Amino acid sequence: MQHFDVVIVGGGMAGATAALAIKKTSPNLQVAVIEAFAPKSQAHPSFDDRSIALADQSVQYLKQFNLFNADWPFAEAIKQVHVSDRGHFGKTSLHHQDYKTNALGYVVEVNPFGAYLHQQLAKTDIQLYCPATINELKQTQDSVELTLNDETQVSGRLLVVADGAQSPTRKQLNIGFDSLAYEQGALIANIEVEGGHSGQAFERFTEHGPMALLPMTQNRYSLVWCMPNVQLEHYKMLEPDAFIAELQAAFGYRAGVFKQVGMRAQYPLVLGRVEQLVHHRSVLIGNAAHAIHPIAGQGFNLGLRDIQALVELIASKQHALGEHAFTQAYNRARAQDIKTVMTLTDALVRLFSNSSRLMALGRSCGLLAMSLSENLKAPLAKQLMGHVIKGKS
């Protein structure tokens, strides 16, 4: 049996970031990461790399651990966000200068970012088991004991569950996941735009669902197009030129002339959270703990705040690592923020997916009011930049 203080299941973005942050702030702790899939060797961006949006607060947090660099060839600044409601007069925009920051956030490509995180893991004494899966999980009074698929036995005083939305470890702990499926799915692809994008991001609400364009390097946008499930397959299977024409017609020319589309993928949209964030000597973070609609780009940012709360709790030594008081403190620290983001995100989906003329008028008036009043615009800016309500520990 190999003993550790913290064992993290999942070496993706959430798990790797958590491991590095814990090791940096609590260097005397012995940390292990168990990851099912070997990282992709490709460290350079490609046209089809998927992206995540990092809020400004997330960027500042990652910088503390040398886990973000604005000069990366796979990171692009969001200088401005333009929000509009298709077919109606309301619109508003947010500019980074108005909030005295270099950017409202950044768009980072997942593959090279993940490769960078694993390069940083290799520079530490963090024990990485990869590729490896858990065959058996046993909770004792003082630890969680794991038997891996190669019969290696590992134990930890604290188990951090970070193995994604379909988390096998969550199921092994018999923790339920309450979810509500939207009647929408998301189609994602990278789009080349003629003449560049100047760091502008767009959120456009249509009668079928929201569309987002996030600026990427090399004159590309990351497209997230939400639509009824019955339409997804049609748009995914269109010939590239036909898809570009349909996208241009749906979005208009505010973002420029679309020239090329990369590989298209689709995934279902759900709102969900675990029945409990903690278990005996175990805590859940990231997508293993919650799922939200991509309408506000808050998914990974919410997971980073899970990590921040956990890292700070460990470093404080206020409670013995992994004991009941520790896990309950983590639960208190995260419950309100998660609930708030889920509620706001769901409200946005329902508000802007409603085709009622009265609702459309209300949306237009609201967007127009925000464009005229900085006080009304401030909550939207805070949400996008990652400044949201936090619970107390």
pLDDT for 291-348, tens place per residue?
Answer: 988 866 788 999 999 999 999 999 999 999 999 999 999 999 999 999 988 888 787 7
Closest of 129, 165, 163, 120 to residue 149, by C-alpha: 129
For 11, phi and psi rounded to 5 degrees?
A: -115, 25
Q: Please state which of the ranges 21-25, 256-260, 348-352, 367-371 shows the lowest mean pLDDT.
A: 367-371
Domain ranges within the chain, ordered by starting residue: 2-41+112-178+270-349, 51-110+182-269
173-187 core/surface letters (b: 16 or more CB in 10 A; e: else)? bebebeeeebebbbb
Cis upstream peptide for 131 (omega within 30°): yes
Calculate what percentage of the chain has a pLDDT beyond 90. Answer: 67
Average pLDDT over residues 22-28: 98
H or E element that contains 82: strand 80-85
Average pLDDT over residues 112-132: 96
Residue 207 has pLDDT above 80, yes or no: no
Residue 32 has pLDDT above 60, yes or no: yes
Please report the pLDDT score of residue 67 as a whole number. 98
- CB-CB neighbours of 113 under 10 Å: 24
- Distances from the Cα of 265 to the Cα of 188, 220, 242, 341, 377, angstroms: 5, 17, 16, 26, 33
CATH number for region 51-110+182-269: 3.30.9.10
Residue 363 has pLDDT above 50, yes or no: no
Please report the pLDDT score of residue 99 as a whole number. 78
pTM, two decimal places: 0.89
Average pLDDT over residues 207-215: 84
* DSSP-assigned letters across all residues of 246-313: HHHHHH-STT--EEEE---EEEEEEEEEES-SEETTEEE-GGGTEE--GGGS-HHHHHHHHHHHHHHH
Please report the pLDDT score of residue 374 as a whole number. 46
Residue 86 has pLDDT above 70, yes or no: no
Answer for the pair 220, 308: CB distance below 8 angstroms, yes or no: no
Band of the pLDDT at 392, cuts 50, 70, 90? very low
Helix boundaries (H) for 123-238 = 168-172, 229-237
Average pLDDT over residues 52-71: 95
Residue 147 or 87, more confident: 147
pLDDT for 213-234, tens place per residue?
Answer: 999 999 999 999 989 999 999 9
Band of the pLDDT at 372, cuts 50, 70, 90? very low
* Domain 2-41+112-178+270-349 CATH superfamily: FAD/NAD(P)-binding domain (3.50.50.60)
